[in-house]
Amino acid sequence: MSNVVIDPTSSVLSFPQWLLWNFQFTASNMPYNWTISSGSFPPGMNFQAKYSVTSSSGLITATGSAFNEGTPLVFSALGSGGSAYTASTVVYYATRVSGVTFSLATSPGGAPITSGTNITNGSLYQPGLLSGQATAPGIYKVNMVATNSTGDSPAVPFTIGIEAAAAAPDTNTDLVWDFGSNAVIVQTSSVLNVTPAPRTTPIIFVKEQDDLIVRVRAIKNSSILDLGLVGASNPLKLVLKQFEPEAQIVISDGSVQIGSNDANSLLLHAQFSGDTLKSALSNYETDTGTLFSALAELEVTFPNPGYTVGPDHLRRTSQTFTVQIERDLGESS
């Protein structure tokens, strides 16, 4: 095999603090490992994160994974079993991906390996993948080396700039909209949570007159979706449901997509002002400080994907979820 050569698609990277993102270092001739010869990554980032795996009859389950077809993968440990695989020095490729389960092939699009594949307590990683949420702004410089069966590549410098966040992450709300189940799930850590709370359990807590920046990511089968809404006018809305009369109260005044591919998300500005909520909150003196459980949903509008029937744009709404609002006479008394 020829020497590995790092191909920097970009040697200067820039991301906002607290944004969940990933970057794939690339090189020729199938590197099975990457190392840092000097420098360090921003705190909060994971490099070549290891996923615990089990396997039976060629079907692998990787805890917390969200791989795509053709993703290169390397075993860091085989645990017990897995005689058909080689750890540490061979690159395999994900195939027949379904959620967190998949098979492996020796080449992209190749036939899956099915015999001698039973594994207990193994682990694998995606070579050259940097992922996570940077927690500290600053400039970080690293020299990267890629390795294949021939040896190491020359070190290549990369510079990563982390822009200071305008607000701390706990001033915002992070939601995931699962397009498989249509559920809306609140996120409380960097580990993707795909388990929805009961619909009657509040997942957003606010006080009347509050403003909120809501970050929404769309997923399906535990993989991030890019809805392709860049440039669309207010494609995502947060609305409250009203029974008498049955109607929607739009409480967000705009949305914008940031990032792309696996790092994309939509931001919207939600306003829980008295004027917006007049028809839902009565604001008599006896209401002060009481709680109102409002039913809410997300609504997205997107271009019709080339179908010959239907309108130019289509609309989809999420399952209903609960927002708990604390009444306050405030300015709307």
pLDDT 10s digits, 2-48: 788 888 766 888 888 877 888 999 999 989 999 999 999 999 999 99
More confident residue, 38 or 243: 38
Given this model, what pLDDT does residue 333 score? 39
Mean pLDDT of the chain: 83
pLDDT mean over 274-298: 69
For the cut 70, the answer to whether the pLDDT of residue 215 exceeds it is yes
Domains, the chain, ranges and CATH?
12-163 (no CATH), 169-332 (2.60.40.3350)
How many angstroms separate the CA atoms of 144 and 75, rounded? Answer: 21
pLDDT mean over 108-127: 91
Of the ranges 64-78, 156-170, 221-235, which one carries the lowest mean pLDDT score? 221-235
Given this model, what pLDDT does residue 85 score? 93
Q: Percent of the chain at pLDDT above 70? A: 83
Q: How far is CA 162 from CA 118, 144, 170, 245, in A?
A: 42, 18, 18, 48
The set of residues, in sequence order, having a beta carbon less than 8 Å from that of 42 and lying 6+ positions away, is 134, 135, 136, 138, 140, 160, 162
For the cut 50, the answer to whether the pLDDT of residue 305 exceeds it is yes
How many angstroms separate the CA atoms of 250 and 268, rounded? Answer: 12
Given this model, what pLDDT does residue 229 score? 65
Of the ranges 98-107, 113-122, 272-281, which one carries the lowest mean pLDDT score? 272-281
And the tokens for 21?
Answer: 């993102």
For the cut 70, the answer to whether the pLDDT of residue 219 exceeds it is yes
More confident residue, 2 or 283: 2
Question: Dihedral sign, CA of 87, 88, 91, 94?
Answer: positive
pLDDT mean over 71-86: 91
And the tokens for 265?
Answer: 């998300």
Q: Percent of the chain at pLDDT above 90? A: 35
Given this model, what pLDDT does residue 331 score? 47
Of the ranges 108-117, 241-250, 320-329, which one carries the lowest mean pLDDT score? 241-250
Q: What confidence category does residue 248 fall into, taking pLDDT thresholds of 50, 70 and 90?
A: confident
For the cut 80, the answer to whether the pLDDT of residue 145 exceeds it is yes
Given this model, what pLDDT does residue 279 score? 60
pLDDT mean over 50-74: 88
Q: Give the type of residue at 98.
A: S
Given this model, what pLDDT does residue 43 score? 94
Of the ranges 14-18, 145-149, 154-158, 165-169, which one carries the lowest mean pLDDT score? 165-169
Given this model, what pLDDT does residue 274 score? 61
CA 138 to chain centre: 23
- Smallest CA-to-CA distance from 103 within 128, 67, 142 is with 67
Range from 75-84, 171-180, 261-270 that averages highest in pLDDT: 75-84
Given this model, what pLDDT does residue 332 score? 42
Given this model, what pLDDT does residue 269 score? 85
How many angstroms separate the CA atoms of 302 and 257, rounded? Answer: 13
Contact 230, 241 (CB under 8 A): no
More confident residue, 214 or 302: 214
pLDDT, tens only, 86-98: 999 999 999 999 8
Q: What's the 3-state SS for the chain? A: CCCCCECCCCCEEEEECCCEEEEECCECCCCCEEEEEEECCCCCEEECCCEEEEEECCEEEECCCCCCCCCEEEEEECEEECCCCCECCCCEEEEEEECCEEEEECCCCCCCCCCCCCEEEEEEECCCEEEEECCCCEEEEEEEEEEECCEECCCEEEEEEEECCCCCHHHCEEEEEECCCCCEEECCCCCCCCCCCCCCCEEEEEECCEEEEEEEEEEECCEECCCCCCCCCCCEEEEEEEECCEEEEECEEEEEEECCHHHCEEEEEEEECCCCCCCCCCCCHHHCCCEEEEEEEEEEEEECCCCCCCCCEEEEECCCEEEEEECCCHHHC
Q: How far is CA 205 from CA 161, 171, 284, 327, in A?
A: 33, 12, 21, 12
Given this model, what pLDDT does residue 256 score? 77
- Smallest CA-to-CA distance from 173 within 21, 323, 17, 330 is with 323
